[in-house]
Chain A
Amino acid sequence: MAPVATLLLLMPLVGFLFVLVMGPALKEKVIGAIGTGVVAVSFILAVITFFMLLHRSSREVTIHLFNWINVGTLHVPAALLVDPLSITMCLFVTGISALIHLYSIGYMHGEKDFRKFFLYLNLFVFSMLLLVLANNLLLTFVGWEGVGVCSYWLVSYYFTRGSAASAGKKAFLYNRVGDFGLLVAMFLLFHHTHTLSYLGIFHVAGTLSPTVATLTVLALLLAATGKSAQIPLFNWLPDAMEGPTPVSALIHAATMVTAGVYLLVRMSPVLTMSPDGRATIAVIGGVTAFVAATIATSQQDIKKVLAFSTVSQIGYMVLAVGVGAYSAAIFLMVAHAFYKALLFLGAGSVIHSLDDEQDLRKMGGLAKYLPLTFPAFLVGWLAISGIPPFAGFFAKGDVLTNVFQHNKFLWALGVVTAILTAYYMTRLFVMTFLGTERFREVTDRHDPHESPWVMTLPLVVLSVLAIFGGIIDLPWAHGAALSGFLHPVLGYVPAVAAASTTEQWVLAAVDVLAALIGLAAAFTIWRDLKVGARFESKFFEHVWYWDDFYDATIGRPLTQMAVFDDTVVEPKVIDGAVTGVAVLIRNSAEGLRKIQSGFVRQYALAMVLGFAVIIIYLVARVH
Chain B
Amino acid sequence: MNVPAAWYLIVAALLFGVGAFGLLTRRSALIMFMCLELMLNAVNLTFVTFSRTMSDIAGQASVFFVMVVAAAEVTVGLGIVVAVFRRRSSTSVDDLTELKG
Contact = CB atoms under 8 A, between A and B. Distances in A.
A604 B98 contact: no
Interface string A595-608: 11111110011001
B101 A608 contact: no
A604 B23 contact: yes
Contacts of B94: 599, 601
Contact of B99 (A598, A601, A605): A598
Contacts of A608: 20, 24
B38 interface: no
B24 A598 contact: no
Interface in B70-95: 93-94
A597 B93 contact: no
A181 B96 CA distance: 76
Contact of B101 (A596, A600, A601, A605): A596
A599 B97 contact: yes
A593 interface: yes
A592 interface: yes
Given A596-B100, A596-B101, A605 B24 contact: yes
Given A601-B24, A604-B23, A604-B24, A593 B93 contact: no
Interface string B33-47: 000000000000000
Contacts of B15: none
B32 A598 contact: no
B100 A598 contact: yes
Interface in A565-613: 592-601, 604-605, 608
Contacts of B98: 598
Given A592-B101, A593-B101, A600 B20 contact: no
Contacts of B96: 598, 600
Contacts of A597: 97, 100
Contact of A599 (B23, B25, B93, B101): B93
Contact of A598 (B20, B23, B97): B97
A304 to B, nearest CB: 75
Nearest to B29: A600
Nearest to B93: A600
B100 A601 contact: no
Contacts of B24: 601, 604-605, 608
B93 to A, nearest CB: 5
Nearest to B21: A608
Contacts of A598: 96-100
A600 B100 contact: no
A597 B97 CA distance: 7
Contacts of B20: 604, 608
A585 to B, nearest CB: 14
A597 B98 CA distance: 10
Contact of B93 (A592, A596, A601): A601
A596 B27 CA distance: 17
Contacts of B101: 592-596
A588 to B, nearest CB: 12
A176 B40 CA distance: 82
A600 B32 contact: yes
A191 B100 CA distance: 68
Interface of B: 20, 23-25, 27, 32, 93-94, 96-101
Given A593-B100, A598-B96, A600-B96, 18 more contacts: A592-B101, A593-B101, A595-B101, A596-B99, A596-B101, A597-B100, A598-B97, A599-B97, A601-B23, A601-B24, A601-B25, A601-B27, A601-B93, A601-B94, A604-B20, A604-B23, A608-B20, A608-B24
10 contacts: A593-B101, A596-B101, A597-B100, A598-B96, A598-B99, A599-B93, A601-B93, A604-B20, A605-B24, A608-B24
